[in-house]
Amino acid sequence: MQIDIVTIFPDFFRGPLEHGIIRRACEAGIVTIAVDDLREFTSDRHRTVDDRPFGGGQGMVLKPQPVFECVEALELRPREERARAKQAVVLLSPQGHKFDQSVAAELAMVERLVLICGRYEGVDERVGMFLADREISIGDYVLSGGELAAAVIADAVIRLLPGAVGNEASTRQESFFAGRDAAPGRGPSSTCGSGGLLDYPHYTRPADFRGMRVPEVLVSGNHQDIRRWRRRSALAKTLRNRPDLLDGIELSEEDRRLLAENADPAAAE
Ligand code: ADE
C-alpha cells in the first residue's frame, strides 16, 4: 500500500509514524508513506494556503487550488474509476462519516490511500465535493487540524495489512473486530474472536503484584473455564463501558447465560 498524507505541517509526521509496527511495516515494504507539503503547491511569495470565507465570518479557509494541485500531482485515476482501481482519497474533517474498525478494514483493502488534512476553520467545500472520495471524522470533537486524525487512520489501517502485525490472529482478537469469526448467525468460533465486543482483560506475571492477584481461573490451566471467563468478562466490560455495541451483534445462547451470570454471579455456580 502507498499512503500519501497531504498537509501544511509535514514535520508533524516525523514522530508518530516512525515507531513500532508502522516503522517495521515500512521497512518490510508492506507500506510506503509519503508526506506531501501543501505549501509546495502555492505560487505566491508568502506560500499562502488559506483565504477569507465568502459570505464573511470568522477564521480562514484552506484554498482549493493547492489541495487540488497536490493531489493531482499524485497521478491517481479519475475519481469515478478510483474505487475499481483500489484507490481512495479521504478528507479528514469533523464533518465526516465517523471512523471505526470497519472503515479501517475497508481502507486496508486499497492500494493507494491519500489522506488530506484539513486546517483552519475549514476546507473549501469543493475539495470534499469534487476531489475526495470520502470525508471522515475520527470522533465527535474538534481537533486543530486533520494531522492527528490522519495519523490515527494510518495506524489503524497499516496494522491490518497482511504481515504488519507479527501474529495476524491477534488483530482478529482485538476489541471491535467483527470479521468472519463473528459473522451474524455463526456465533464467535471462540472467545478470541471478540465479535464486535470490547476485548477481555489481559494479565501477565507476576500472579501477585502488591497484593493484587490475577483471577484464579487464568492460572488454573482449565482452558474451557478460561474461555468462558474471557467471554464473560468481555461481555461485562462491553455492557459497562459501551452498551451500544451490544445492539449491533448477535448474542449466542451461551452469551446470554454469561451476561446473566455477570448480573448474578451466584448463577455461575
Ligand atoms: N479535523 C478536526 N477535527 C477532526 C476530527 N474530529 N476528525 C477528523 N479530522 C478533524
Q: Cα(65)–Cα(50) distance, rounded to whole angstroms?
A: 10
Q: 143 C-alpha to center of ligand 1: Å? A: 5
Number of H helices, E strands in the chain: 10, 10
Please compute the mean of the pLDDT values over residues 105-112 and round it to a whole number. Answer: 98
C-alpha cell, 211: 497484593
Is any atom of ligand 1 closer than 6 Å to the C-beta of 118? yes
pLDDT for 168 = 61
| DSSP 8-state secondary structure symbol assigned to residue 31 | -
- Tens digits of residue pLDDT in 13-55: 998 899 999 999 999 999 999 999 999 999 999 999 999 999 9
Q: Which atom of ligand 1 is nearest to the CA of 99?
A: 7
Look up cell 471522515; give the residue: 136
In whole angstroms, what separates CA 8 from the centre of its chain? 22
Identify the band that residue 262 occupies on the pLDDT scale cut at 50, 70 and 90. Answer: confident
172 pLDDT tier (thresholds 50, 70, 90): low
What number does CATH give the domain 174-268?
Answer: 1.10.1270.20
Q: Say if ligand 1 is within 6 A of residue 122 CB.
A: no
Instruction: Give the pLDDT score at 265.
Output: 66
| All cell numbers assigned to 83 | 474505487
CATH class of 2-158: alpha beta
- 97-103's contacts with Cβ under 8 Å and 24+ in sequence apart are 97/134, 97/135, 97/136, 97/137, 98/136, 98/137, 98/138, 98/139, 98/140, 99/136, 99/137, 99/138, 99/139, 99/149, 99/152, 99/153, 99/156, 100/176, 101/156, 101/176, 101/177, 101/178, 102/178, 103/136
Distance CA 62, CA 59 (A): 10
Give me the sheet containing 87-98, strands edge to edge. Answer: 32-37, 2-7, 112-117, 87-98, 134-137
91 lines ligand 1 (CB under 6 A): no
Cβ(146) – ligand 1 distance below 6 Å: yes
Residue nearest (by alpha carbon) to ligand 1 atom 6: 94
Helix axes 253-263, 223-241, angle to 10 degrees: 70
Q: Is the CB of 139 under 6 A from ligand 1?
A: yes
267, amino acid identity: A
Distance from the CA of 5 to the center of ligand 1, in angstroms? 15
Residue nearest to atom 4 of ligand 1 (CA): 94
Burial class (CB in 10 A: 0-12, 13-18, 19+), 157: buried
Higher pLDDT, 173 or 58: 58
- pLDDT at 167 exceeding the cut of 90: no
- Domain residue ranges of the chain, discontinuous segments joined by +: 2-158, 174-268
Q: Is 6 exposed, middle or buried (0-12, 13-18, 19+ CB in 10 A)?
A: buried
The reply to whether ligand 1 has any atom less than 6 angstroms from the CB of 142 is: yes
- Residue at grid coordinates 507479527: 166
- In short, whether 149's Cβ falls inside 6 Å of ligand 1 is yes
Q: What is the mean pLDDT of residues 191-195?
A: 51
Task: Write down the pLDDT at residue 178.
Answer: 59
pTM over 0.95: no
User: Crossing angle of helices 20-27/147-158, nearest 10°?
Assistant: 70
Greatest pairwise CA separation for the chain in angstroms: 76
- To test the pocket of ligand 1, the residue of 120, 121, 137 to mutate (highest count of ligand atoms within 8 Å of its CB) is 137
